[in-house]
Chains A and B, each alone.
Chain A
Amino acid sequence: MTTRVELNFKVPNQTSYLAMIGQMGETLAYSLKNFHGNRKELAYHLNLVLTEALTNAICHGNACDPEKYVTIDIAATDKTLVIKVIDQGQGFDITARDKIKAAPLDESGRGINIIMKLMDKVSCTREKGMNVLKMTKYLH
């Protein structure tokens, strides 16, 4: 029987929520019953990608506007974990971002590259006027 977990959060557009959402990612990693890999590493990576994606949504997508919010949808099955981070911004070309590799001494620009290294599939689309960053991890 396939286990399925679905979580949905509506997060105020404030960086003070980063720790809470990151910790939720760690807790989620320990709740995936059929995952047989390095669970401690997965927990850290989920904390990290959620933190990076939420930071990007708050500071860039929503331009630090306190009136806006970020939606996080998480769906996990035995084999796949899909995380969507949805902001109210204009969207950005993730492919272009990927091409811009952060130089060694750049102070910013590493977040999206970190996400792309740690997740198996990353895409950015526009849906209903919202900017959707979709990150997929195949669970082995």
Chain B
Amino acid sequence: MQLSVKEQGETVIITIEEERMDAHNSGRLKERMLQLFDEGKYQLLIDLSGVRFIDSSGLGALVSGFKNASAHDGNLKLCCLQPQVRSMFELTRLHRVFEIFTTVDEALEGSS
């Protein structure tokens, strides 16, 4: 999975540079998040603007990161979901778990 990582203030922004998040590539996101947690970075924002397709494995990777960040008084937010990706969060009711923002700037400001 192609990812880009940049820091803005206390937040680490991970941009998923793949059209698909599935069982083949989601493990890479989990590994990268674990590296960040090991460095003590628990404020994450995942930019999903480039993702057109996500399955249960992709959702599971995000839930894993969310749980780990939350357990260390951090947070994992999502932004920039394409409509069909958003529909997956609604289908699985995960839109009630994650803070989901329209843009990166909104997420950084903390307003939904």
Q: Do A and B make up one complex?
A: yes
Which residues of A pack against B, CB within 8 Å? 15-16, 18-19, 22, 44, 47-48, 51-52, 55, 58-59, 102, 104-111, 113-114, 117-118
CA distance A59 to B55 in the complex (A): 14
Does residue B28 face the partner (Cβ distance < 8 Å to A)?
no
The A interface is mostly helix, strand or loop, or mixed, namely helix
Report yes or no: B53 in contact with A22, Cβ–Cβ below 8 A: yes
A37 to chain B, nearest CB (A): 15
A44 & B22 in contact (Cβ 8 Å cutoff): no
Give chain A nearest CB distance to B57 CB in angstroms: 6
A109 to B67: give the CA distance in the assembly, Å.
16
Pick the contact of B24 from A18, A104, A107, A118 — CB < 8 Å? A18
- Structural contact, B23 and A59, CB atoms closer than 8 A: yes
Query: Could you tell me the distance between the alpha carbons of A110 and B92 in the complex, rounded to whole angstroms?
Result: 8
Q: Given A16, A19, A108, which contacts B56 in the complex, CB threshold below 8 Å? A: A108
Q: Are B60 and A110 in contact (CB under 8 A)?
A: yes
Contact bitstring B61-81, A, C-beta under 8 A = 1, else 0: 101101100000000000000
CA distance A51 to B22 in the complex (A): 8
Q: A110, B56: Cβ atoms under 8 Å?
A: yes
Given contacts A15-B22, A16-B24, A110-B60, is CB(A104)–CB(B94) below 8 Å? yes
> 4 closest A-B pairs (Cβ-Cβ)?
A15-B24, A110-B56, A107-B60, A111-B56
Within the assembled complex, what's the spacing in Å between the Cα atoms of A44 and B24? 18
Interface CB pairs A-B, < 8 A, 24: A15-B22, A15-B24, A18-B20, A22-B20, A44-B53, A44-B84, A44-B87, A52-B55, A55-B22, A55-B55, A55-B57, A58-B23, A59-B23, A102-B92, A104-B94, A105-B63, A105-B97, A107-B67, A109-B56, A110-B60, A110-B92, A111-B55, A111-B57, A114-B56
